[in-house]
Structure 1
């Protein structure tokens, strides 16, 4: 089994997230699951040449529209490279597992296939997060990714008010000001599977044994593609 980790660099870098460090931690977890792992920082080229034998795609990259040093939006006349959507669209058709972490909710904005797959997005001026610190994670539902896990606490950011544009199956939430926000969810897209995990700001998140266990469960679920067509439990759609 072969896994490809897309790590934020170039126009997918930002001043807030140490992608090289977190991608290295992710590579350990993916390798522990039995995959041959490759980390690519040339994100656009890696997607444009996505090989048929890649069964797990890990997206750990930032917003290409805010890749300047200070994190401000790029000028309207800034030229973005053409990104080939075809290989990812074909992978979704044949069956691939996708693990999208943290800032991936704002990444790969040029790819319609990824936008359809992830089911929810970070939208500037709408989405937000409280200050970095202690985060209480509430496990919900009965999805296989949460099997054997209980609520836990870790040091991380808590993404809030992510905008859902398709059906998701919530796995974990956090509570802020009396409102529950989904931070981990699963999706099945035809024969493909996706797990989005909004945790993972820096390596302190991956120091949490509970978070590592959740990611290990996610990888185990994602490896079973093409996904079976048996009846699936009800999911939650965008409000």
Structure 2
């Protein structure tokens, strides 16, 4: 990894966009948060500022993604459920190479961060749910109306939990949606929850897929989420931890 880690934010469009999420706006805010240095040139965790690029989700968007190469250090997936009808943006075969390149990257242990609708994207991939460590389930998963929300660090004994505790003091607040009743793999380690209907629902976890280094973060419905200092700290902490293992 270079002295200034390079982050690729994959922004939903076409097959992987929807009418409810402005993927361009949230991807831009992610890039702003991760690339902004502090006065001494480091972020609040003491890591260098990140070199961030944003790229639309086209079938060839990952053609240069090489786990053994020197182009990217972290892939951030900020895409949505989209429209799978072939006449809209190509059939499954047209996108097969895209999904295979992302699978190869993840299975090589290269870091992946999935944001918000990443739990409800890439339904045509045979590997994405395994890599992410969970998924949105149509007809079961839901969220209350968007609003001021609180997310709480769980007691999980995981090295990322300590990083999150230092960065957020154990609580994240943001104007956001509170994803509920997601399907989370037993092998995943839940680090942040929100309470709805008397139940603590996982919203941030580390995937337990063998050989995979992936974090899922359900926050980030729209750009307002990233106005919160604690939400920004959460994002930077996740990225710092993912890159620390490379």
TM beyond 0.5: yes
* Matching of residues 3-152 of structure 1 within 5 Å: 3-32=7-36, 33-51=48-66, 52-53=69-70, 54-64=72-82, 67=83, 74=85, 79-80=91-92, 81-84=94-97, 85-141=99-155, 142=157, 143-148=161-166, 149=168, 150-152=170-172
Once residues 154 and 102 of structure 2 are traced to their aligned partners in structure 1, the CA distance between those partners, rounded to angstroms, is 30
SS at 2:150 equivalent: strand
Contact kept in structure 2, 1:191 and 1:225, CA below 8 Å: no
Q: Does 1:158 align with 2:178?
A: yes
* Matching of residues 128-207 of structure 1 within 5 Å: 128-141=142-155, 142=157, 143-148=161-166, 149=168, 150-207=170-227
- Give me the CA root mean square deviation: 2.3
The number of residue pairs the alignment matches comes to: 219
Normalised by the length of structure 2, the TM-score is 0.80
SS at 2:32 equivalent: helix
Relative to structure 1, the CA distance from residue 153 to residue 38 in structure 2 (aligned partners, 3 Å threshold; closer, same or farther) is closer
Q: Which runs of 5+ in 2 are unaligned?
A: 37-47
Relative to structure 1, the CA distance from residue 186 to residue 145 in structure 2 (aligned partners, 3 Å threshold; closer, same or farther) is farther
Contact kept in structure 2, 1:120 and 1:166, CA below 8 Å: no
SS at 1:45 equivalent: coil
Match of 1:230 in 2: none
Once residues 91 and 108 of structure 2 are traced to their aligned partners in structure 1, the CA distance between those partners, rounded to angstroms, is 32
Contact kept in structure 2, 1:6 and 1:43, CA below 8 Å: no
Q: Deviations over 1:57-105 (max 9, x none)?
A: 00111013xx3xxxxx859998343321332232223321111100010
SS at 2:179 equivalent: coil
Once residues 2 and 213 of structure 1 are traced to their aligned partners in structure 2, the CA distance between those partners, rounded to angstroms, is 18
Relative to structure 1, the CA distance from residue 101 to residue 145 in structure 2 (aligned partners, 3 Å threshold; closer, same or farther) is farther
Which stretch shifts more, 92-101 or 43-52? 43-52
Q: Which runs of 5+ in 1 are unaligned?
A: 68-72, 227-239
Once residues 113 and 144 of structure 1 are traced to their aligned partners in structure 2, the CA distance between those partners, rounded to angstroms, is 29
